[in-house]
Amino acid sequence: MKIIKWVTVGTLSLQANLSLAAELLKPVTHSDFPSPHYEKVLLGRDLFHDPILSGNRNISCASCHQAQLGSADAVPLSVGEGGLGLGEERHGTAEAPAEKHIPRNAPAIFNLGAHEFTTMFHDGRVMQDAKAPGGFLMPVGRALERDADTALAAQAILPILSPEEMAGTEGENEIADAVAHETIRGPKGAWAMLAARVDALPGYRAQFDKVIGTTQPVHITDIGNAIAAFLAYEFRADNSAFDAFLRGSTQALTPAQHRGMELFYGKAECSSCHAGAFQTDHKFHAIGIPQIGPGKGHGATDDDFADHGRAAISGKDEDKYCFRTPSLRNVALTGPYGHSGAYATLEEIVRHHFSPRDSLMSYDPQKAPVPALAGYGAVTPQMPDQAELERIASAITLDLPPVSDAEIAEIIAFLHALTDPSSAKGRLGAPKFLPSKLKIDTLAD
């Protein structure tokens, strides 16, 4: 099945094509983002970096989402709870053996706070829905107890429940025990216990007083709202060469970037899925990314290395192996690429798009960029069996026209034009200290 093009340019000249793209793509403005509430942003910064939200008080959101690593962790599959080090130096320990490695690549955060981002995670398991509790569809047993400000706020309170990511294993702490028994919501649930931890710290209570008032106890949704406010401010990326072009600077792009833009929005049909000013249609597509790790356990046995993507949420066979189209803002900074982190470089992932089946079938797992799977409980990268590979391949809907090596180079040049240097390391950075007095995970400058 061929994906419909977002914009057809035919034989338009370069200048006409660029004019058309500029006309169809409105420049990003302040109105595309929520207005920052500065006290909430600062509060969210502390919470994002604080291990207080993990079951064992040993990992924070920032442990896998470092500003200096493209808002993620620079490895294909993260080592979560119990791991040591950051980025490519992070490794498993006796507390984080191989089976605890997170089954999907940590997604980048750039611009997820913009109003148009109403779907979160690779499989879209958080989606805006006015009829759902709190305004968002959530995984089973994790319906919101109160209205969340944004999808990003709803998303922020899920990793703290994952045993592999932040909660820990049953028997290690009260949060992990509650999660293991699916006691998530309500006054004795994992969410309430984490909120109470935060509320009990005078430094946090004083900050929340400025945000929610002095009479209400801190609720988990308040925590999610604050983290989301920080992420929306910290990782806003709309000051790239491409943005300058959209705002009228015709010299903002180099000749190669101009040609790459023409290909992206024209012949190469990249904008079939990577549409709009943020280069995403917010939909789900099967493009045959190799599965190099254990996946989400969607196969018949634990050894299947299966990840059914969107289908595990929707229950629809046609959604098997479909994953959400990511934004391409700052994409040059956010490798490895794909839901499994199978590709280390932009060139590898771009080439995959133009020959997905061949790329999938010829993929060498020994070349996978897997430093995070080394160390204690080392995992050897491997592929699913042949039957699963065929199932992944048969689901592919991506069918782009052939392009030359020179054209691939020009497309990559355009992708580099989407880098916003001012957001590459975040705007505020990590705090100097935390109200909990716990250790801050941050890379040295």
Query: pLDDT (tens digit, 9 = 90+) per residue, 49-79?
Result: 999 999 999 999 999 999 999 999 998 888 8
Return the residue matching tokens 């109160």.
146
Percent of the chain exceeding pLDDT 90 equals: 76
Is residue 101 over pLDDT 90? no
- CA torsion 369→371→376→381, rounded to 10°? 0
Confidence of residue 83 (pLDDT cuts 50, 70, 90): confident
Mean pLDDT for the stretch of residues 327-332: 98
Mean pLDDT for the stretch of residues 81-98: 77
Confidence of residue 311 (pLDDT cuts 50, 70, 90): very high
Closest residue by Cα to residue 185 from 205, 166, 204, 161: 161
Mean pLDDT for the stretch of residues 210-232: 98
Is residue 374 over pLDDT 90? no
User: CA 125 to CA 139: how far, in whole Å?
Assistant: 6
What pLDDT does 445 receive? 52
User: CA 338 to CA 122: how far, in whole Å?
Assistant: 9
Q: Which residue has the higher pLDDT, 99 or 359?
A: 359
Closest residue by Cα to residue 153 from 212, 232, 224, 230: 224
Is residue 16 over pLDDT 50? no
What pLDDT does 409 receive? 98
Return the residue matching tokens 């419909």.
4
What pLDDT does 301 receive? 64
Mean pLDDT for the stretch of residues 102-115: 94
User: CA 405 to CA 344: how far, in whole Å?
Assistant: 18
Mean pLDDT for the stretch of residues 35-46: 97
Is residue 408 over pLDDT 50? yes
Is residue 2 over pLDDT 50? no
Mean pLDDT for the stretch of residues 394-409: 97
Each residue's pLDDT tens digit, 114-154: 999 999 999 999 999 999 999 999 999 999 999 999 999 99
Is residue 10 over pLDDT 50? no
Q: Which residue has the higher pLDDT, 365 or 261?
A: 261
Range of weakest confidence among 1-5, 85-89, 247-251, 271-275: 1-5
Q: Is the peptide bond before 336 cis (omega within 30 degrees of 0)?
A: yes
Each residue's pLDDT tens digit, 266-291: 999 999 999 998 999 999 999 999 99
Range of weakest confidence among 29-38, 91-100, 107-116, 156-165: 91-100
Supply the mean pLDDT for the chain: 90
Confidence of residue 97 (pLDDT cuts 50, 70, 90): low
Mean pLDDT for the stretch of residues 330-358: 96
| Top-confidence range, 4-8, 19-23, 224-228, 364-368 | 224-228
Mean pLDDT for the stretch of residues 419-431: 92
Q: Which residue has the higher pLDDT, 383 or 324?
A: 324
Instruction: Note every long-range contact of 143-148, with CB atoms under 8 Å and residues 24 or more positions apart, other chains counting.
Output: 143/185, 144/221, 145/185, 145/191, 145/219, 145/220, 145/221, 146/219, 146/221, 147/221, 148/221, 148/224, 148/225, 148/228
Q: What is the pTM of this model?
A: 0.92
Return the residue matching tokens 């080592």.
79
CB of 43 closer than 8 Å to CB of 283: no
What pLDDT does 298 receive? 85
Structural domains in the chain, CATH included, are 14-31+240-419 (1.10.760.10), 33-72+107-237 (1.10.760.10)
